[in-house]
Amino acid sequence: METMTSDRVLLTATGVRKIYRTGSVAVTALLDLDLTVCHGEMVGVMGPSGSGKTTLLNCLSGLDDIDGGRVVVDGHDLFAMSDAARTEHRARTMGFVFQAFNLIPVFSAVENVELPLLLVGRRSRDARRRALEMLDRVGLSHRVGHRPNEMSGGEQQRVTIARALAGRPAIVWADEPTGNLDSAMAGQIMDLLCELNQDEGQTIILVTHDFAIGSRVPRLIRMRDGRLVEDLHQRGLAAGADTDLHSG
């Protein structure tokens, strides 16, 4: 069993509840969800369509409000903060990779990666240096001046990963990051994410419905009807991660 000493804990969700209300219809998308994630973990989130995977990502990252419970990330209670403080905390501690690449079409790769750094006040020379370093890290040093429509889907997703990691976030959230890619490119993006986790200890929480992806993460949680129904530490999959096999 994993020993979760408090200094290793990065995220704690306790009794999280999320209800979507549309007119008179209420859908409970998360029900009393408890989850603890430690620094350096790579966690996959799987479950049937509608089970609450994206809602989990949106609520535990503070992108969306919750209807009950508590989420603490990097020592800060997300929903005890003002909206402005939560936004600032998110920009400082979290990076996001989505299925849609959401790159700015008129910007080059390096401009897309440096933009969030400039928005949080980094000096332009520092932001450029860090953006180039990250593009090199994701294997795109030969594409820094290319615009999104001049790159393949896999290359565009590498740019978004470079952008997500440029600010050295404590957590990277990824929602179906390989959903728009063919299986060969999807495999390469997973290789990169696994490498960033294993070599650099980057904490990653990844939503997927793809079993090939889910089989590669050291820890896999499964959802059903808004509840966490399984928490599986897959044996021997990651350096530094817990390798006990247990569920619960």
Among 4, 27, 106, 229, binds ligand ATP (CB under 6 A): 27
Which pairs count as long-range contacts for 212-215, CB under 8 Å and 24+ apart, including other chains? 212/183, 212/186, 212/187, 213/44, 213/178, 213/186, 214/44, 214/46
H or E segment and range at residue 111: helix 109-119
- Please, what's the b/e burial string for 74-99 (b: 16 or more CB within 10 A of its CB; e: otherwise)? beeebeeeeeeebeebbeebbbbbbb
* Residue 51 or 112 with smaller CB distance to ligand ATP: 51
Question: Contact region for ligand ATP (CB under 6 A) — 36-44, 48-56, 141-149, 186-194?
Answer: 48-56
CB of 55 to ligand ATP, least distance (A): 3
Among 22, 24, 82, 149, binds ligand ATP (CB under 6 A): 22
Under rule CB under 6 A, residue 44 binds ligand ATP? no
Question: Contact region for ligand ATP (CB under 6 A) — 42-50, 142-150, 179-187, 227-235?
Answer: 42-50
For residue 199, what are the contacts with CB-CB under 8 A and spacing of at least 6?
none
For residue 112, what are the contacts with CB-CB under 8 A and spacing of at least 6?
103, 104, 148, 159, 163
Closest residue by Cα to residue 117 from 101, 135, 105: 135
* Residue 6 or 49 with smaller CB distance to ligand ATP: 49
Under rule CB under 6 A, residue 201 binds ligand ATP? no
CB of 105 to ligand ATP, least distance (A): 25
Among 37, 41, 44, 51, binds ligand ATP (CB under 6 A): 51
Under rule CB under 6 A, residue 179 binds ligand ATP? no
* Residue 36 or 54 with smaller CB distance to ligand ATP: 54
Question: Helix or strand or coil: residue 37?
Answer: strand
Question: How far, in Å, CA of 205 to CA of 169, rounded?
Answer: 12
Among 33, 35, 53, 122, binds ligand ATP (CB under 6 A): 53
Contacts to ligand ATP by CB under 6 A: 20, 22, 27, 29, 47, 49-55, 209
